[in-house]
Amino acid sequence: MSRFPGELLRAGIFISCFVFVLSSSRNVNYTPSNLTHLTDLFPHRTFAQGFSEFFGGPNIQLTNNGSYVNLMLNKSSGSGFVSRDRYKYGFFSTAIKLPSGYTSGVVVAFYMSNADNFPHTHDEIDFELLGHEKRKEWILQTNLYGNGSTGTGREEKFRLWFDPTEEFHQYSIIWNDYHIVFLVDNIPVREVNHSQAISSIYPSKAMSVYATIWDGSQWATHGGKYPVNYKFEPFVASFGEMEMEGCILDPTTSVASCPESGLSIDPVQGEAFAKLSQQQNMGMEWARKRFMFYSYCKDAARFKVLPPECNGAK
């Protein structure tokens, strides 16, 4: 495992200022200035260095010596790949370029799960990108499960401040004992603190990392109103700049092997990853105020009694 450079730990993840720039393709574009990217702290993995086929083999194409992976959805199948290791916690990231054009019902996902080992009490941390119809834009959904099923999710939905089909954008997850953070291009969009209120559903069991594209016709676009139209196939999502850094569980001994740093602090459990900086909180507030349009904590129709962690939610 790589070591965490001392100078990067000192520099941390501080952002000196934030600049708002109008964009012709979106209502607003957000440009952090002088940013030390979390995604620069760890090495990129090729497919051969950490992944294997999950499903849909003929629809998986490796490019650039396996540094990038194209996943395809057509009438025959979706496709996906999975990490060879399971992690107890860590930092996980990939850059994704999404299919353009009519993509209703299409789901592109980057997530962590242990549903194969715990089908009825699984943990999961999700980025799900939901396709669109006509001129509507892709939707970003974040979600998590702990010791539960799909009925116990904690979903939030966002519009993006860029066109995710024009170029690659980074989607990253921090998962440790302190919090779960979802980041887009290194800007936090959601933080789930590991508090007593959420402890019963906080993901705690070792998980694998997945990347998939699949048919979500029944729910993905306006609750299933617009299914996948295979007249527009194939739908191709490209993944690259893949990073996985964390505590690996040995499947034979159930003993975890965790990374170390020059300061004898596990970097993904260390200070730089334990709490968001003031600048990161500013970025998260910007993203949530401008682009979040659904939170389970505001869904009184779904929950007669809101989950306990929703008390005080903004």
> Quick one: what percent of the chain has pLDDT higher than 70?
84
Quick one: pLDDT at residue 149?
66
The amino acid present at 157, given as its one-letter code, is: K
72 — phi, psi (to 5°)?
A: -120, 140
Tell me the whole-structure pTM to 2 decimals: 0.88
pLDDT surpassing 50 at residue 19: no
- The CATH number of 6-310 is 2.60.120.200
* Dihedral angle over CA of 134, 126, 304, 151, nearest 10: 100
Active site residues: 124, 128
Quick one: pLDDT at residue 3?
39
pLDDT (tens digit per residue) in 152-173: 789 999 999 999 999 999 999 9
| For range 200-206, the mean pLDDT | 93
User: How would residue 36 be classed by pLDDT, with cut points 50, 70 and 90?
Assistant: low
What per-residue string of b and e applies to 84-99 under the rule 16 or more CB within 10 Å gives b? ebbbbbbbbbbbbbbb
What are the residue boundaries of the structural domains of the chain, listed by start?
A: 6-310
Quick one: pLDDT at residue 18?
41
User: How would residue 7 be classed by pLDDT, with cut points 50, 70 and 90?
Assistant: very low
The mean pLDDT value of the chain amounts to 86
Quick one: pLDDT at residue 44?
97
User: Strand 79-83's sheet: what is its strand order?
Assistant: 51-55, 79-83, 208-215, 106-113, 122-130, 139-148, 156-159, 292-295
pLDDT surpassing 60 at residue 126: yes
